[in-house]
Amino acid sequence: MNLKQHTIKQSISFEGVGLHTGKTAVMTFHPAPPHYGIRFIRTDLEGKPEVRAHVDNVVATERGTVLAENGAQVHTVEHVLSALMGMQIDNVRIELSGPEPPIADGSSAPFVELLQQAGKEEQNALRQYICIDEPIYYRDEDRQIEIVALPADEYRLTVMVDYNSSVMGSQHAMLFDWNDYPKQIAPCRTFCFLHEVEYLYSKGLIQGGSLQNAIVIVEKPVEAAQLERLAALFDKEEVAVQSNGILNNLELRFHNEPARHKLLDLIGDLALLGRPLKAHVIATRPGHHANVQFAKKIKAYMEKNPSNDIKQFHPGMPAVLTATQMYEMLPHRYPFCLVDKIIYLDDEQVVGVKNVSIGEPYFQGHFPGNPVMPGVFQIEGMAQTGGILVLNTVPDPSNYWTYLLRVDNCRFRKMVHPGDTIIYHCRITAPIKRGIIKMHSDAYVNNELVCEADMTASIVRKDEEKK
């Protein structure tokens, strides 16, 4: 998957009817800045309220995932979110002139084609991944649903379904290479069983459903009276069940199209975490409710293990700021240049890399027979990394000085030796007030915490200091 975040190059629109509401809407994708995420804007409502695609905003999961925020709802978001995740697009603003995205043909393929037309644009910000250290399980024994996320270096998914159906049988689908998504997963359409259709319609759902945007699976002989009711429901002269057990002889695009669509839905629902996983997700009989509950378990795990975020960063990542660019912003010079590059930077956190060499000048006098990096230099490395974060809050960083005012709760956990590579991770812990910034800083070697501290710094304009 991509190292850096992406958006689209240009705005592009799609119009159609929603599956459940039956209402027509125009959906327009717009480019968005780094760390924006995916947000829906209800342009048909007063004030154009914004609804973020986030698991905390899910309010319903019956035959589709519904989001609500700021007094507005967006229905059936999973196919659009799946297309965006499948295309590895992180930041997009979606204006919607109705309550529900168009259902199109019941798959994500039309949205993928639309995004391909808009084009992808790489952004100068690294993707944030969710990394896990241990299996995360979700079980619903009554519905025979089980989903597990296993630690992995890549995002992979495997789905198995078995509805005890003589027509559909047991199926499985998988996605290990995200380049396969547009052709192997996106074209797979939503489906339901014939016995569900009239019930769903009576519940106010599938108001925009048709035999062109859903696979209707027929397991038992159907009486003529029911076929007449279905013909009226779908505004057809007649409907029939053909030998393949599907209403009106719809041809499957894949022999396991239902399982692939379940995988498509799972991708869309897990996109509500706000960033992709580094895990292998294995799901048996998944559905929207289970998918969302599973996503909430992952979110809870990450809130309890915030340090896992650092595991997505490694020394080989491309630089967001090179050493030359860094020290154009910072006033330090040799031998006090203690960070080699910045590999991540946003409004709240920064990650820097330091390769500790035996040639460092301090090793000449600091335990020369047993070289150990002095703790004060580790603190200085964290302070310089944090200084980049501080300077990133102003539009003209070259006109500012940053000063370290205070260090609290400092702990040295492990020794750092020549040959080690330190990952410095600093994040702002309180709103900036009157030029005072509070940060928490950690230093890692091989994903192990070697040093941590709370820091307070100030930022001062150079011309004001001279006064």
- Contact in structure between 72 and 43 (CB atoms under 8 Å): no
Cα–Cα distance, 41 to 31 (Å, whole number): 13
The reported pLDDT for the residue numbered 2 is: 85
Those residues with Cβ within 8 angstroms of residue 183's Cβ, 6 or more apart along the chain or in another chain: none
Does domain 321-466 sit in CATH 3.10.129.10?
yes
pLDDT of res. 377: 95
Per-residue confidence (pLDDT) for residue 373, from 0 to 100: 95
Report pLDDT for 314: 82
Q: Which DSSP string do the residues of 190-246 spell out, in sequence order?
A: PEEEHHHHHHHHHTT--TT--TTS-EEE--S---HHHHHHHHHHTT-S---B-TTSB
Q: Which two tokens stand for residue 120?
A: 């992808």
Rounded to whole angstroms, how far apart are CA atoms 257 and 45?
37
- Per-domain boundaries in the chain: 4-185+257-309, 321-466
Do residues 314 and 427 touch, judged by C-beta distance below 8 A? no
CA distances from 431 to 148, 303, 459 (A): 37, 20, 14
The number of CA neighbours under 13 Å toward the Cβ of 360 is 27
| pLDDT for the residue 125 | 77
What residue ranges of the chain have pLDDT lower than 50? none
Neighbours of 28 (CB within 10 A): 16
Angle (CA) 283 292 258, round 5°: 45
d(CA 123, CA 321): 14
**CA 108, 83, 247 angle in degrees (round to 5)?**
15
**What six digits make up the tokens of 269?**
């629902």
CA angle 190, 256, 115 (to 5 degrees): 50
Helix (H) or strand (E) holding 126: strand 120-126
Tokens 């702990």 sit at which residue? 411
Residue with tokens 């007449």: 228
Task: Report DSSP letters for 127-154, one per residue.
Answer: PP-EE-SS-EEEEETTTTEEEEEEE-SS
CA 464 to chain centre: 42
Strand 277-284 relative to strand 156-162: parallel, antiparallel, unpaired?
Answer: parallel
* Nearest Cα to Cα of residue 37 among 117, 94, 77, 83: 94
Angle, CA of 55, 57 and 59, to the nearest 5°: 105
Question: What are residue 73's DSSP bridge partners?
Answer: 68
**Cα–Cα dist 446/80, whole Å:** 38
- Is the CB of residue 230 less than 8 Å from the CB of residue 200? no
Indicate which residues carry an active-site annotation.
Answer: 288, 366
Q: What is the pLDDT of residue 61?
A: 92
Which among 297, 311, 229, 246 has a CA at the least distance from the CA of 269?
297
The C-alpha atoms of residue 329 and residue 397 are separated, in whole angstroms, by: 6
Strands 24-31 and 92-96: antiparallel
Predicted local distance difference test score (pLDDT) of residue 18? 84
What tokens were used for 146?
Answer: 């089980």
Number of H helices, E strands in the chain: 9, 25
Neighbours of 359 (CB within 10 A): 8
Is 4-185+257-309 a CATH 3.30.930.10 domain?
no
- How many angstroms separate the CA atoms of 348 and 439, rounded? 9
- 3-class state of residue 303 by DSSP: helix
